[in-house]
Amino acid sequence: MTTSSQNRTQTLIDEFVTRFQTRPSTMSVAPGRVNLIGEHTDYNDGFVLPVALDRDVRVLFNRRADRTVRLYAVEFDAWAEFDLDNLKFNDEHFWANYVQGVAWALMERGLALTGIDGIISGNVPRGSGLSSSAGLEISCAKALMAAANQLDALPGEQIAKAAQHAENHFVGVNCGIMDQFISTLGSEGHALLIDCRSLGYELVPFPTGASLVIGNTKASRSLANSAYNERRAQCEEGVRLLQSVLPGITALRDVTSEQLETHKDLLPPIIYQRCRHVVTENERVHATVDALARGDLAEVGRLMNASHASLRNDYTVSSDALDAMVNAMQGAEGCFGARLTGAGFGGCAVALVAQGQEAAVRDAIFEQYSKAMNIWPEVYVSPASRGAHVVDLT
């Protein structure tokens, strides 16, 4: 643990003591993520290549003997309490629904949980497309599992699945599996190649000599939810239409670029464009993994730029702010490539940058993005970090 991470833990222990008049026994930690490449592919049974960040959500807790979960959310300065036997949607504290949802999904999978007293705190920027909600879900899942002595009851993939199920069916947000998966299974110094159909995964060493620079547009993502659902429906429509000539397919993952071109006339133009993004993006993920293995960072950068163009032109999930951010990054000295990351419509872009050039890229972002958009952005540099884990505080 770095000194600043240790200091943060100490501050949170003090906060816990203030709130509960006793020390916490345990802390669970789950990171946010940035996706290198493979955007809007996860819900098409495709491939993604995310990295866990050095920013995370932490839950410090003590086990309780009863079925009550009492939580204090530091950043919201708010308390929520619920009974594991009586979970119902909390209209007042939206964040509490992530915790309840995860508890529900874990119990549905047969885990016998116990109550906890806990505090929650995170430094993943919220609402910025860096998966603070997946960090919250996974951190709570690990806390509840640890409190019940059931940390080994489910493999990481299934913890991720349970959290996704909670977000889809308790919180009511339609998301794929990527964010929860990388938050659970990320590994220091690595990206994770995830097959979102089989849930198989492979650690891909993060290239030495390169850094990740993340630019937060600080622009609103208000369109993200409805547009996300619309894109998902369009992909399903594409599969349905293509099944008339490709009966074996069940998702866009099964379609190659050649097949798509051959049967293009079956699809309305907009559906064709959406499908073309997904199909070519899956191909770019594999090409990126190959280029990383060869140490060809220029090619990785080119693929990231191509991903952004495809998201902007074919999938139309970029925005003026994201385009301005990506332009500033791509034009900066030492930047191999850059693209929007996450669902789009705002939030963050990610750049792969030659080590030592992080400050140059950051300066270019502050100067050019702020001028273009009249918004002051935030910039983060993060190493590829480890996934969720539980720390004994006794």
Active site positions, annotated? 179
The alpha carbon of residue 254 and the mean position of all alpha carbons in its chain are separated, in whole angstroms, by 24
In the complex, the smallest distance separating the C-beta of residue 72 from ligand GLA, rounded to whole angstroms, is 26
Residue 228's SS3 state is helix
In the complex, the smallest distance separating the C-beta of residue 5 from ligand GLA, rounded to whole angstroms, is 25
Query: Which residue, 42 or 358, has its beta carbon nearer to ligand GLA?
Result: 42
Q: Quick check: 179 binds ligand GLA (CB under 6 A)?
A: yes
Q: Please report, for residues 5, 134, 143, 370, the alpha-carbon distance to residue 61 in angstroms, rounded to integers and kept in the order given.
A: 18, 19, 7, 41
The stretch near ligand GLA (CB under 6 A) out of 7-15, 34-42, 151-159, 291-299 is 34-42
Query: Which residue, 226 or 355, has its beta carbon nearer to ligand GLA?
Result: 226
For residue 1, count CB atoms less than 10 angstroms from its CB and return exposed for 0-12, middle for 13-18, buried for 19 or more. Answer: exposed
Q: Quick check: 141 binds ligand GLA (CB under 6 A)?
A: no
Give me the residue label for tokens 């839950």.
59
Contact 217, 329 (CB under 8 A): no
Q: Quick check: 40 binds ligand GLA (CB under 6 A)?
A: yes
In the complex, the smallest distance separating the C-beta of residue 172 from ligand GLA, rounded to whole angstroms, is 13
Residue 32's SS3 state is strand
Query: Which residue, 130 or 267, has its beta carbon nearer to ligand GLA?
Result: 130
Give me the residue label for tokens 């050649």.
258
Q: Quick check: 39 binds ligand GLA (CB under 6 A)?
A: yes
CA 148-389-206 angle, 5° bins: 155
Query: Which residue, 133 or 187, has its beta carbon nearer to ligand GLA?
Result: 133
Q: Quick check: 334 binds ligand GLA (CB under 6 A)?
A: no
Q: Which candidate, 12, 27, 1, 13, places its Cα nearest to that of 75?
A: 12
CA 386 to CA 370: how far, in whole Å?
32
CA 348 to CA 125: how far, in whole Å?
10
Q: Quick check: 69 binds ligand GLA (CB under 6 A)?
A: no
Q: Quick check: 120 binds ligand GLA (CB under 6 A)?
A: no
By beta carbon distance, the residue nearest ligand GLA is 176
Q: Quick check: 253 binds ligand GLA (CB under 6 A)?
A: no
**What percentage of the chain's residues is helix, strand, coil (to nearest 5)?**
45, 20, 35
Contact 98, 133 (CB under 8 A): yes
Q: Quick check: 115 binds ligand GLA (CB under 6 A)?
A: no
Q: Quick check: 322 binds ligand GLA (CB under 6 A)?
A: no
Query: Which residue, 7 or 250, has its beta carbon nearer to ligand GLA?
Result: 250
Q: Quick check: 178 binds ligand GLA (CB under 6 A)?
A: yes
How big is the site for ligand GLA, counted in residues (CB under 6 A)? Answer: 10
Q: Quick check: 125 binds ligand GLA (CB under 6 A)?
A: no
For residue 152, count CB atoms less than 10 angstroms from its CB and return exposed for 0-12, middle for 13-18, buried for 19 or more. Answer: exposed
Q: Quick check: 384 binds ligand GLA (CB under 6 A)?
A: no
Residue in 12, 16, 27, 42 binding ligand GLA, rule: CB under 6 A: 42
Q: Quick check: 342 binds ligand GLA (CB under 6 A)?
A: yes
Chain residues binding ligand GLA by CB under 6 A are 39-40, 42-43, 175-176, 178-179, 342-343
